[in-house]
Amino acid sequence: MDLWQRAKVFAEEAARRSQEISKEAAKRSQELTQGAARLSQEFVSETTKKSKEMAAEAAKKADLLRSEALRAADQIKTLSIDIPIPIASALVSGSSAAVAPEPASDLERFGITQELKEFVQGIQISTFRDFSMQDEPEPEISTIPPSSNVRQDLNEWQARHATLVLSTVKVF
């Protein structure tokens, strides 16, 4: 019987140890799960924090670029005010004589011939009244906002040509 008693005690001890090991394994598994969840939560929190920092930095840079662009636009606007428009100076002068004699090479280059001068001198107000523009398509107007009463739909060559015509032809 002594053997039977020992086997029983041994079996009880093995069962008790097995339960303790199972409890310890469950406890450690729960701790690992909680640790993994905590690490995952910390990772998400840190990622969110970094994303917000990067977004704030990008917003600051965008504001800086916008302010620099506005400053540059103001400088351009200021500079453009200081640049005289050639055709405007000829129209504002109101003089029927030439303001300053233009070099003959400029006149030739822009097609200002004696024949053209005579033709322009022959134009009267009635010429424009009798001229019908109904069949003509509207000219394409520039999208540049007008800074004065000067037309903005002429290219540089056309503006120079018109200035030369207006400054060299005497109007009676």
Q: Residue 15: which domain range?
A: 1-83
Q: Are residues 3 and 77 in the same domain?
A: yes
Confidence of residue 101 (pLDDT cuts 50, 70, 90): low
Say yes or no: 52 and 90 in one domain. no
pLDDT of residue 123: 80
Last residue of a domain, one of 58, 83, 108: 83
Contact 99, 167 (CB under 8 A): yes
Q: Are residues 91 and 73 in the same domain?
A: no
Q: Which residue has the tokens 């007008």?
A: 146
Q: pTM of this prediction?
A: 0.34
**4 and 77 both lie in a single domain:** yes
Residue 96 clears pLDDT 50, i.e. is over it? no
118, pLDDT greater than 90: no
Q: Do 73 and 31 share a structural domain?
A: yes
What was the pLDDT predicted at 98? Answer: 43
Q: Does a structural domain hold residue 117? A: yes
- Chain segment 129-160, per-residue pLDDT in tens: 766 666 555 556 555 555 555 556 778 888 88
In the chain, how many domains are there? 2
Whether 5 is in a domain gets the answer yes
Quote the longest CA-to-CA distance of the chain: 149
DSSP code of 110? T
- 73 and 19 both lie in a single domain: yes
Write the CA distances from 165 to 67, 112, 124, 134, 157, integer angstroms. 44, 7, 16, 27, 12
